[in-house]
Amino acid sequence: MDRRGFLRTAAGGTAAIALASLLPAGCSREYPQATGDNVTLKSLTAKEYATARAAAEAFLVGVPVTASYVASAIDAELAVAGDPMLTDFKTVLGLMEHGTLLSFKGKRFTALSIEARTRVLEDWATSRIKLRRGAFFALKNFVVYFAYAQDSTRALTGFNGPLRERLAVPAYPVDFGGIA
Amino acid sequence: MIHVGAGRTDTLREKADVVVVGTGSGGATLGVYLAERGWNVVMLEKGGFFRAEDFTQREEQAMADFNGRRGLDATIDNAVFLNYAEAVGGCTVHYWGDSFRAPGDRLERWRKEHGIDWMIESELDPHWAEIEKELGIHITPENLFNENNRLVRAGCDALGIEGHAPPTARIDCIGCGWTQLGCPYNRKTSQLITTLPRVSKAGGRIYSDAHVTQILKDGDRVTGVSASFVDRVTKRPTGTLQVDAPIVVLAGGALGTADVLLRNFEDDVVGKRFYINPHYFVWADFGRDIDNVTGIPCAYVVHGFRHVQRDAKGEYASGGYIMLTNHQSPAIASVMLNGIGAAHTEKMKRYRHLGSVMSVIDEDHPGRVFLDKNDIRRTEYNVRGVDQLKAVDYLRNASRIFLAAGAKEVIIPDVYGTTVRSEADVSRIDVRSVQPNAQFTAGSHLMGTAPMGTDATDSFAKPTGEAHRVRGLYVADGAALPGSVSVDPSLTIMGVARHIAAQMHTTHGRAGA
């Protein structure tokens, strides 16, 4: 997908395109998180992984799922899903990582404290610019979805898990008329 | 015979009277009608073939297996999540089974505005009656009501708001709660386990994992389709299949059908009207455990607001939507609920305290489907104008119903953290909450992208379902509907598809015979 497609549809898109085109790619020396987590990346760069991981740390306060698990699950899913989701999400991560430069004295998102990252996310969520709100939702939805799909969160939510895992009820038989 | 196409590397050629692209509400209904009347039917499904034993009720697996784009599809600005299925059985694999006949007033509108003479209850009722019998559709019984359903009903009763239990497509349902993730018990009467086995037993061939890439033509007449067998996960092509047939029926859903048409025809109408019935999700905290994980998601429908009410000046005053009771598994609920960090976690800790409803907004302003410059299908949809007013009215009335039912707090899951504890709070809900990307919004009733009508400048297909400009090419799914049904469209789509099939059978006899 054309990375600009996502940006153009939202107010502020032109400025964002200009910004996104200037974003440095970064390298694994600057972003050692994936290596430190022993994750072999499938779709994201080391910088994008670090940004997703940093966002997960801010979103998942008190949730018994590690940020590294969530970031690696996002990486793995996007590798399979491909475009347009992959390029759109990479754009979101790039904008998030560098969108803090002006408001936080040159600091990138991944370099902020969790409290500061939370303030950034709140700022993006309530922004007057639709693009920022859209980026916020993309990031939030991915992070919480992959976290709460994990069995380790069941104690937190009180969810007992699918009934199928607790109660053996036979399926009604179906004759498909032959399967090849 | 059902042929699993995943990973097939061969080159196959089939001949049929009709090739049906898509196996959901429209395609399966049409396919079985023709197959049981002697037609040589081939059906192609882009998605995989999954059976009861494959439905683990685990969210990640279900979304990746049979939701379109692995459950990650959204409009281009990420403002609306698009929920649709790609699997043998189509949307009926994950739908809730709510089975409404299209309201008479909606049929009348389509008849008057689009010239579809047969859009009248006396024409469609016999088809609906037959389908209802075949799928065991019946009014949801009390034993499938969970506490959320009962609380919403109590709130409506207290306020004098009309609602009722919907007709539902299931037999001996055990109320496990997760119909949206596929029924592992074969109790939801999806097309997967009802009509498609009948197609198979009548001699039809159903190919899964077969992605149609080209509609074959000779002049202005179709001659068949070519398709690729695709890898189940990556969707990358592995083999090829060509089906030669004098009739091609597109029934891949509003997105799938539009996708095929946009790649094959220059047409100014395709994709220009994309209806989704926007869903906003309101949550209510009752301060105690309530059962909203068993039963069925929607055992109670609030119908009292379906019609738009206007003031003395003719301006919008209220209504234009229905509400469905709603429950969601934790991961999906976590996406829908608002908050960041600890605020979000606290809401998830109250998961078992939460009741919920969702809107089906009967929108005036559709979106669009198009191919971007890289030939990737994209969608644009913004809830705007009067549709925003309907959404606000819905948020307010949903809040009132939950307060009347005893909720301690109603959560409007917007980015502003709007909560409602009193009527004064209700009146403060405004359009800010329904701006694009102000709260999680979804669309699962996808319609109208290749609509029927008499005017070739405003519709893709004639009232018979056949394309205006291509002989032998039909549309028989949600794409063919001229607009929003205003209720869950699955039974309407089935009825319309069966009517189109009956017309085809009358017109062509057994094609190819």
Q: Give A105-156 pLDDT, tens digit per residue.
A: 678 999 999 999 999 999 999 999 988 999 999 999 999 999 999 999 999 9
In this prediction, residue A17 carries a pLDDT of 45
- Which residues in chain B are contacts of A114 at CB distance < 8 A? 341
Distance from C-alpha of B315 to C-alpha of A134, rounded to nearest angstrom: 31
Task: Determine the distance in angstroms separating the CA of A49 from the nearest CA of chain B, rounded to an integer.
Answer: 19
DSSP B456: T
Which residues on chain B are in Cβ contact (under 8 Å) with A174?
51-52, 186, 193, 197
Contact B196 A176 (CB under 8 A): yes
pLDDT tens, N- to C-terminus, chain B (513 residues) = 999 999 899 999 999 999 999 999 999 999 999 999 999 999 999 999 999 999 999 999 999 999 999 999 999 999 999 999 999 999 999 999 999 999 999 999 999 999 999 999 999 999 999 999 999 999 999 999 999 999 999 999 999 999 999 999 999 999 998 899 999 999 999 999 999 999 999 999 999 999 999 999 999 999 999 999 999 888 889 999 999 999 999 999 999 999 999 999 988 899 999 999 999 999 999 999 998 988 898 999 999 999 999 999 999 999 999 999 999 999 999 999 999 999 999 999 999 999 999 999 999 999 999 999 999 999 999 999 999 999 999 999 999 999 999 999 999 999 999 999 999 999 999 999 999 999 999 999 999 999 999 999 999 999 999 999 999 999 999 999 999 999 999 999 999 999 999 999 999 886 544
- From residue B399, how far is each of B248, B282, B356, B360, B414 by CA, in Å? 47, 8, 10, 16, 14
Nearest neighbour of B234 by CB, restricted to A80, A137, A148: A80
- φ, ψ for residue B482, nearest 5 deg: -70, -15
B437 touches chain A (CB under 8 A): yes
Q: What letter does residue B465 receive in the DSSP assignment?
A: S
Query: Which of B474, B74, B496 has the alpha carbon at shortest distance from B260?
Result: B474
- As beta bridge partners, residue B12 has B241
- Considering only CB atoms, which chain B residues are within 8 Å of A96? none
pLDDT at res. B234: 82
DSSP state letter for B375 = S
Alpha helix stretches (DSSP H) within B237-310: 253-264
Instruction: Show the DSSP H helices in B265-373 as ranges.
Output: 330-336, 342-349
Q: What is the pLDDT of residue A166?
A: 77
What's the pLDDT score for residue B178? 87
The pTM of the full predicted model, rounded to 2 decimals, is 0.95
Residue B170: strand, helix, or coil:
strand
Look-up of token digits 């009608």: B33
Q: Name beta bridge partners: B212.
A: B227
Both tokens assigned to A33: 């998180």
pLDDT on residue A32: 95
CB proximity B476 to A under 8 Å: no
CA distance B504 to B462: 13
Residues 6+ apart with CB under 8 A from B485: B100, B102, B103, B106, B445, B447, B492
> How many Å apart are CA B272 and CA B258, to the nearest integer?
10
Give residue B508's Cα distance to chain centre.
30
Q: Is A163 on the interface with B (CB under 8 A)?
A: yes
Q: Is the CB of A2 less than 8 angstroms away from the CB of B344?
A: no
**CA gap B493, B498 in Å, rounded:** 8
Contact call for B334 and A81, based on CB within 8 A: no
Q: CA B174 to CA A169: how far, in whole Å?
A: 9
C-alpha B318/C-alpha B304 separation (Å) is: 11
Which portions of chain A are predicted below pLDDT 50? 1-15, 17-18
Give the mutation candidate from A127, A145, A151, A175 for the B interface (greatest B CB count, under 10 A): A145
Report the residue of chain A nearest B417, measured CA to CA: A126
Q: CA–CA separation, B476 vs B173, rounded Å?
A: 29
Distance from CA of B43 to the nearest CA of A (A): 14
Looking at residue B293, its amino acid is V
pLDDT at residue A9, as a whole number:
44
Residues of A in contact with B52 (CB under 8 A): 171, 174
Q: How far apart are the first and last CA of chain A?
A: 36
Of A122, A169, A177, the CB nearest to B340: A122
Of A77, A149, A156, the CB nearest to B348: A156
- Please answer yes or no on whether A180 and B352 come within 8 Å at the CB atom: no
For residue B79, which residues of chain A lie inside 8 Å, CB to CB? 130, 134
B488 neighbors B358 (Cβ within 8 angstroms): no
Chain A residues lying within 8 Å of B186, measured CB to CB: 171-174
Which residues 66-85 of A have a C-beta within 8 angstroms of B?
Answer: 77, 80-85
Are A163 and B181 in contact (CB < 8 Å)? no
A59 and B340 within 8 Å at the Cβ level: the answer is: yes
**Number of Cβ atoms within 10 Å of the Cβ of A113:** 11
pLDDT in tens, B264-281: 998 889 999 999 999 999
Give the pLDDT confidence score for residue A5 in this predicted structure.
46
Q: Which positions in chain B touch A149 (Cβ < 8 Å)?
A: 58-60, 330-331
**Which residue type does B335 have?**
V
Give residue A54's pLDDT.
98
H-assigned helices in B36-99: 59-66
**B67 beta partners:** B85
Residue A83 DSSP label = T
How far apart are the CA of A11 and the nearest CA of chain B, in angstroms? 10
